[in-house]
Amino acid sequence: GTGTKQFVGDPIHCWNPAEYKKKFYQKYSDSYCWIHPMYNVPMDEEIPFHAKDRWFNDVGFYRWVFLMFLLQAFFFKFPNILWKQLKDYSGLNVSKIVGMTLDTQMMTQDKRDEQMEHVAIFFDRWLKTYSQYRFNAITQIRDKLSTVFFCFGKRSGTYLTGLYMFTKLLYFVNVIGQFFLLSAFLDLNFWTYGLEAMYTLNKMGRWRDYYNFPRIGLCDFKIRQLQNVQPFTVQCVLSINMFLEKMYLIVWFWLVFLLIADMINFGQWLFRALFPRAGERFLGKYLLLLGIDRKREKALFKKFVNKHLHADGIFMLRIVAGNTSEILTLDLVRHLWDRFKAVHGLAPSEGATGAPSPDKGPKGSGGEKPPLARQPSAPIVEEDDDNLPPKMID
């Protein structure tokens, strides 16, 4: 297009001797030199006489830039593909839970309570289905190892957490691999590419990498004339390198940003996964907003966090909190907490703020119905819904 022609021009244009100025000669030399490697010799140096001595600085990577970008894009996408394919093996449709919770924000309070009860019931069924079973010593050892090393243990409640941590690790490893990949592809130290560019720009006031991205290359080819084979060396302009030089500098800055961001993000999630108190603080904040003294009910609270929700339950609540709002997450935590207390023969939370208690009867009924008297059926969850949440938390 016009923009490509203006900023890049023809990717290659070779200068031919006078006797080969016809158009088809020009096209031949341009096409040949584009698909064959060239070499770069500075203008103040002589071209080596022997052909084998000329390839000390060959130029040819530009032909594969497009395919390299496709390969890089696949490596960036692969962790996301892995997450989408494996997360459903947890038995919980992550996207559906987030979507159903998000839908309640436009509902009336009664409808919201009913919908949240649906979500809480399905949540509870999932937690009970994949609760930890302790049949013998071997099972206990296996579950302990799964909890410590996040070996995708459904029974120990660490499958989703471990899978998500592994996905985060893949993102981090991918960025490091991108530096090594581009270093090998461009035949330079891509780790310091941006630093060297900024140093040169600061020292000389301009930056042009003629060595790694030469503007001019030399191309050798032979032409058969009857029984004679005549060698030619032509000089070609590589205008595409001017564009690639700046583009890879932008890629360097982007990869450095991703490296720092992924490292911080992975560290945060690793801390949350390794220290159970992080989950207790996360849920304690919501219980405090509900007017519940978690210190007074310390034993029950710890059992709710560590024995009922497990790491995966807390992880799902973090997903909901990151993709919805504090109010909706507060409602869901209230329903889960009240259901947990009801199972242990305790009354639902009294005086909870932010939403009415689930044991309140309809207006005008003149009384209250017992907790969990109405048990709506769990929502239908499609098995083939493999979309990620609307804005996956970091």
Q: Which of 337, 335, 265, 261 is nearest to 303 (CA)?
A: 337
What CA–CA distances, in Å, run from 70 to 65, 73, 84, 188, 377?
A: 9, 5, 21, 20, 46
**pLDDT attached to residue 393:** 44
Q: Decide: helix, strand or coil at residue 1.
A: coil
Residues 258-307: pLDDT tens digits? 999 999 999 998 888 888 788 888 888 888 887 777 667 778 888 888 88
Q: What angle do CA 216, 221, 227 make, to 5 degrees?
A: 155
Q: Domain residues for 316?
A: 74-176+265-343
Share of the chain above pLDDT 90, in %: 18
Write out the E strands in 262-386.
none
* Structural domain includes residue 271: yes
- What is the Cα 270 distance to its own chain's centre? 16
Q: How many domains does the chain have?
A: 1
Q: How far apart are CA 97 and CA 128, in angstroms?
A: 16
Model confidence pLDDT, tens digit, residues 322-332: 888 888 889 89
pLDDT digits (tens, 9 = 90+) for 171-182: 999 999 999 999
Other beta carbons within 10 Å of 329: 21
- Which long-range contacts (C-beta less than 8 Å, at least 24 apart) are formed by 190-196? 190/248, 190/252, 193/248, 193/249, 193/252, 194/249, 194/252, 194/253, 194/256
Range 221-228 average pLDDT: 79
Q: What is the pLDDT of residues 335-393, one digit of tens each?
A: 999 888 888 776 665 544 444 444 444 444 444 444 443 443 334 344 444 444 444 44
Q: What is the pLDDT of residue 349?
A: 58
Contact partners, residue 91, CB within 8 Å, separation at least 6: 126, 129, 130, 154
Both tokens of residue 274? 């390794």
In a domain, 228, yes or no: no
Is 313 inside any structural domain?
yes
Does some domain include residue 63? no
In the chain, DSSP assigns E strands to 13-15, 38-39, 58-59, 216-225, 228-237
Separation between Cα atoms, residue 126 and residue 344, nearest integer Å: 18
pLDDT confidence tier of residue 125, bands split at 50, 70 and 90: confident
Residues near 19 by beta carbon (within 8 Å), at least 6 away in sequence: none
Residue 363 belongs to a domain: no
CA-to-CA dists, residue 332 to 13, 102, 129, 177, 335, angstroms: 65, 11, 19, 40, 5
pTM of the predicted protein model: 0.73
In this predicted structure, which of 135-139, 156-160, 344-348 has the lowest mean pLDDT?
135-139
Whether residue 68 has pLDDT greater than 90: yes
CA dihedral 59, 64, 69, 71 (to 10 degrees): -120
Query: Angle 277-278-280 (CA atoms, 0-180°, nearest 5)?
Result: 60
Let me know if residue 47 belongs to a domain.
no
| Within a domain: 368 | no
Helix (H) or strand (E) holding 194: helix 193-204
Task: Mention every residue, 6+ apart, whose C-beta is less than 8 A from residue 329.
Answer: 101, 286, 317, 320, 321
Please name which of 340, 290, 294, 295 lies closest in space to residue 313, comparing C-alpha atoms.
340
Asked whether residue 300 is domain-assigned, the answer is yes
The pLDDT score that the predictor gives to residue 227 is: 76
Q: Please enumerate in sequence order all residues whose Cβ is within 8 A of that of 102, keeping only pairs 6 or more positions apart, or say none.
A: 323, 324, 328, 390
- Would you report the helix, strand and coil content of the chain in percent, each value rounded to 5? 60, 5, 30
pLDDT band at 25 (very low <50, low <70, confident <90, very high): confident
Distance between CA 188 and CA 193 in Å, rounded?
Answer: 8
Among candidate residues 380, 313, 392, the one with its CA nearest the CA of residue 100? 380
pLDDT for 72-119, tens place per residue? 999 999 999 999 888 888 888 888 888 888 888 888 888 888 899 999
Q: Dihedral of the CA atoms 256, 80, 280, 284 (nearest 10)?
A: 90
